[in-house]
């Protein structure tokens, strides 16, 4: 696996998408549906859990947003060694369990900064097996506050933004990422756009690229499971909501956090073709975005 390099040899900071799937990836354990059987037979259809890398070639540093169950492969794609920091969105299984690879049984990393909101920070500090990572100094917890930017270098900052999502264990945040030239929004999980105190259209207008929660194309993908247990804005509804936007605004949107059942995973599907026809796009693993 060749490490990621800056686009076209440039030295500007850039974002690199390491995963676009919902927490459990594609294929998902225990699923015998055609979507997962096809992925088991053909690696081209496999997708890793949603994750973003922020890379600054000027400093030779790279940060991750979330530590997924696919942490081992995702980190390897960035080259040797531990990341220079990890920013966590929340405490659901696909977004922090990869931290275990930093522990004594694996990398035995030294003091990797892990940035987290108060409840997320408390979960890691106070509960096994995560507290061992703290106690053995594999990770160093650093607190975040809503709307307060963390400066990562010249012209480079990342800001947590609270969003409404199932809060059994922790808060949930999206991240606004600002570079010397451009900015982006990374928002993998939210219950409903209408529940957010920010208009989605305004959030898109304020950045140059927006990666958005698109877990389900429609809510009938998991028969027998009430949507209230796994609330996410259906992709079809988001497409309809944003359809009136000017084409340049629609072009900013990349859909990600796709469940294994979401037909838009397949670029040849009617769902994926509809996304493209409406002027949006489905995120791709490996895509880069200079900022």
Tens-level pLDDT at each residue, the chain (291 residues): 456 766 655 689 999 999 999 999 999 999 999 999 999 999 999 999 999 999 999 999 999 999 999 999 999 999 999 999 999 999 999 999 999 999 999 999 999 999 999 999 999 999 999 999 999 999 999 999 999 999 999 999 999 999 999 999 999 999 999 999 999 999 999 999 999 999 999 999 999 999 999 999 998 887 766 666 778 999 999 999 999 999 999 999 999 999 999 999 999 999 999 999 999 999 999 999 999
Whole-number pLDDT of residue 7: 60
pLDDT at site 219: 86
Rounded to an integer, what distance in angstroms lies between the CA atom of residue 23 and that of residue 260? 9
pLDDT for residue 222: 77
Q: Which of 280, 89, 253, 283 is nearest to 184 (CA)?
A: 253
Domain 7-290 has CATH 1.10.579.10: no
| pLDDT in the model for residue 105 | 96
Whole-number pLDDT of residue 230 = 77
d(CA 265, CA 18): 15
Question: Is the preceding peptide bond at 4 cis, omega within 30 degrees of 0?
Answer: no
Structure-block tokens of residue 187:
């928002």
| Structural tokens at position 262 | 């979401």
The predicted pLDDT at position 200 comes to 98
Which of helix, strand or coil describes residue 241? Answer: helix
pLDDT of residue 226: 67
Residue 282 is predicted with a pLDDT of: 98
Q: Is 86 exposed, middle or buried (0-12, 13-18, 19+ CB in 10 A)?
A: buried
Residue 122 has a pLDDT of 98
In Å, how far from its chain's centre is CA 278?
23
CB 102 within 8 A of CB 109: yes
Domain definitions of the chain by residue range = 7-290
Q: What is the pTM of this model?
A: 0.95
């Amino acid at each position: 696996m060749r490490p990621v390099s800056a686009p076209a040899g440039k030295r500007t900071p850039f974002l690199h998408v390491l995963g676009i799937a919902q927490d459990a990836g594609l294929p998902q354990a225990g699923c015998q549906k055609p979507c997962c059987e096809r992925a088991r037979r053909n690696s081209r259809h496999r997708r890793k859990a949603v994750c973003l890398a922020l890379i600054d070639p000027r400093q030779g540093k790279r940060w991750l947003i979330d530590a997924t169950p696919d942490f081992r492969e995702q980190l390897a794609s960035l080259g040797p060694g531990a990341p220079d920091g990890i920013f966590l969105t929340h405490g659901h299984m696909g977004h922090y369990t990869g931290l275990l690879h930093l522990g004594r049984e694996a990398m035995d990393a030294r003091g990797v900064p892990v940035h987290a909101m108060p409840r997320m920070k408390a979960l890691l500090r106070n509960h096994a097996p995560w507290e061992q990572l703290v106690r053995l100094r594999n990770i160093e917890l650093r607190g975040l506050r809503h709307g307060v930017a963390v400066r990562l270098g010249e012209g480079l900052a990342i800001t947590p933004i609270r969003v409404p999502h199932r809060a059994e264990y922790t808060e949930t945040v999206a991240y606004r990422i600002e570079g010397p030239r451009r900015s982006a929004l990374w928002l993998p999980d939210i219950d409903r756009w209408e529940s957010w105190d920010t208009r989605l259209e305004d959030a898109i207008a304020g950045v140059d690229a927006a990666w958005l929660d698109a877990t389900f194309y429609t809510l009938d993908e998991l028969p027998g499971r009430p949507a209230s247990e796994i609330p996410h804005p259906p992709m079809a509804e988001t497409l309809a909501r944003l359809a009136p936007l000017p084409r340049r605004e629609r072009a900013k949107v990349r859909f990600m956090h796709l469940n294994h059942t979401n037909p838009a995973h397949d670029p040849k599907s009617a769902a994926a073709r509809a996304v493209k026809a409406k002027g949006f796009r489905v995120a791709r693993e490996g895509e880069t975005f200079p900022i």
